[in-house]
């Protein structure tokens, strides 16, 4: 009998971060005391003016179809944001709005990849990139940014990975899962390589651009593939929810002061988590420049044994045993393409983070 699953989907793994979150939720439902640091979802509430804009849109009856890739009012707000914050001139014909970051990236890949096309994905990478490339029919090419280089891609590594089949490179700064942010000079060095290979398109995922601590700068590049992406959206999602789009207009055009306020809170949380993790025996945690993730190494724990007699062979065993022993849910580095590490999302309260790090310290101290 032929398989129900398509050939394209059979190449794809389920999302590891969603799996950890679901596991933590299931344990909580059983009554276990579980702290979930798996999902990258801030604990802060949506600002009141943004909530009100969504409610007003419903009251005005703005609940109908919009253009497939976003309504003109929102594209204008996005264009104004690019000008105001990034000094970039984007016409609204160069802007694509989708229901989420995932959909934007997937639309770009589906619109452009043919079988055999390669996409360079620097590891540690956000879990979904390689699988989205596979689903779109392309071939992910993993290159590594090592901890000693701040988990960043070096120009010679990029140069060596480019072939005649390379269609895209995906750059994500600040990074999920490491929080690493490229400096202008580092990006210029990568750009110098890419200029020698004009067939390679650059997909910059700047999801965490407002969460950069200290003095870091970066930029993204406009590309005229928006017409192709609109064609994909027109035959798949139709359009992002009109209510969300009106909320987004208000979020972009309304007061922005909550962004630096929240940024400060995240920076303090980063410092708390990095300091407490570095006090856990066998863990080494670099200080990231942005986002709300840390990516500690467990190199010093490999080969040790838990109280239950389990040998910590790799980061998957470590995260499973940490959850079993102390009820702390984190994601194994294997999911992000570089071991032996794990990822913590610190987008939660100081009290929760302190308790989670105390439990991690206790777990590490119990290993023999
Ligand atoms: C780097 C990166 N890109 C894209 C996304 C997807 O965003 P969305 O939830 O809007 O689809 C995420 C979400 O975790 C992310 O971390």
Q: How far away, in angstroms, is 16 Cα from ligand 1 center? A: 14
Q: What is the pTM of this model?
A: 0.94
Q: How far away, in angstroms, is 108 Cα from ligand 1 center? A: 14
User: 91-116: b or e for each residue (b if 16 or more CB lie within 10 Å)?
Assistant: eeebbbbbeeeebbbbbbbbbbbeee
The pair of three-digit structure tokens given for residue 198, joined into one six-digit string: 């004009």
Which pLDDT does position 41 carry in this prediction? Answer: 87
Mean pLDDT of the chain: 94
Which pLDDT does position 18 carry in this prediction? Answer: 85
- CA proximity to 15, closest of 145, 102, 81, 110: 102
Handedness of CA 188, 193, 196, 199 (dihedral sign): negative
Which pLDDT does position 14 carry in this prediction? Answer: 84
d(CA 78, CA 70): 10
Is the shortest distance between the CB of 102 and ligand 1 below 6 Å? yes
Is the shortest distance between the CB of 83 and ligand 1 below 6 Å? no
Residues 6+ apart with CB under 8 A from 108: 203, 225, 229
Is the shortest distance between the CB of 339 and ligand 1 below 6 Å? no
Which residue ranges in the chain fall short of pLDDT 70? 1, 214-217, 219-223
Is the shortest distance between the CB of 204 and ligand 1 below 6 Å? no
Gyration radius from the chain CA atoms: 21
Give the mutation target among 176, 241, 336 for probing the ligand 1 site: most ligand atoms within 8 A of CB.
176
Is the shortest distance between the CB of 221 and ligand 1 below 6 Å? no
SS3 per-residue string spanning the chain: CCCCCCHHHHCCCCCHHHHHHHHHHHHHHCCCCCEECCCCCCCCCCCHHHHHHHHHHHHCCCCCCCCCCCCHHHHHHHHHHHHHHHCCCCCHHHCCCCCCHHHHHHHHHHHHCCCCCEEEEEECCCCHHHHHHHHCCCEEEEEECCHHHCCCCCHHHHHHHCCCCEEEEEEECCCCCCCCCCCHHHHHHHHHHHHCCCCCEEEEECCCCCCECCCCCCCCCCCCCHHHHHHHHHHCCCCCCHHHHHHHHHHHHCCCCHHHHHHHHHHHHHHHHHHHHHCCCCCECCCCCECCEECCECHHHCCCECCCCCECCCHHHHHHHHHHHHCEECEEHHHHCCCCEEEEECCCCHHHHHHHHHHHHHHHHHCC
d(CA 90, CA 109): 21
Is the shortest distance between the CB of 100 and ligand 1 below 6 Å? yes
Which pLDDT does position 5 carry in this prediction? Answer: 94
Is the shortest distance between the CB of 209 and ligand 1 below 6 Å? no
Which pLDDT does position 1 carry in this prediction? Answer: 65
- CA proximity to 293, closest of 238, 218, 345: 345
């Amino acid at each position: 009998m032929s398989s129900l699953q398509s050939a394209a989907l059979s190449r794809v793994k389920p999302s590891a971060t969603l799996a950890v979150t679901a596991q933590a939720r299931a344990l909580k439902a059983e009554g276990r005391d579980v702290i979930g640091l798996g999902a990258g979802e801030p604990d802060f509430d949506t600002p009141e003016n943004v909530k009100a804009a969504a409610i007003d849109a419903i009251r005005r009856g703005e609940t109908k179809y919009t253009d497939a890739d976003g309504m003109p009012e929102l594209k204008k707000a996005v264009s104004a944001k690019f000008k105001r914050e990034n000094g970039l001139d984007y016409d609204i014909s160069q802007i694509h709005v989708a229901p989420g970051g995932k959909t934007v990236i997937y639309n770009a890949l589906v619109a452009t990849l043919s079988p055999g096309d390669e996409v360079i994905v620097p590891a540690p990478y956000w879990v979904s990139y390689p699988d989205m490339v596979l689903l779109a029919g392309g071939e992910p090419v993993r290159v590594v940014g090592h901890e000693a280089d701040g988990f960043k891609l070096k120009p010679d590594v990029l140069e060596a990975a480019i072939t005649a089949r390379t269609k895209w490179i995906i750059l994500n700064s600040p990074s999920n899962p490491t929080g690493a942010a490229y400096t202008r000079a580092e990006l210029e060095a990568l750009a110098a390589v890419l200029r020698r290979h004009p067939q390679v398109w650059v997909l910059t995922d700047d999801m965490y651009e407002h969460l950069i601590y200290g003095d870091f700068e970066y930029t993204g590049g406009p590309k005229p593939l928006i017409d192709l992406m609109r064609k994909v959206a027109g035959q798949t999602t139709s359009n992002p929810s009109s209510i969300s789009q009106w909320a987004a207009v208000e979020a972009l055009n309304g007061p922005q002061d909550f962004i630096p306020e929240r940024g400060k809170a995240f920076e303090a949380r980063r410092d708390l988590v990095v300091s407490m993790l570095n006090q856990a025996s066998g863990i080494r945690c670099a200080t990231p420049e942005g986002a709300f993730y840390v990516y500690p190494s467990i190199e010093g724990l490999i080969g040790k044994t838990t109280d239950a007699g389990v040998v910590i062979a790799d980061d998957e065993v470590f995260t499973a045993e940490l959850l079993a022993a102390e009820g702390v849910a984190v994601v194994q580095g294997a999911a992000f393409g570089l071991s032996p590490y794990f990822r913590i999302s610190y987008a939660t309260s100081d009290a929760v983070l302190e308790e989670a790090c105390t439990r991690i310290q206790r777990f590490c101290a119990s290993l023999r």
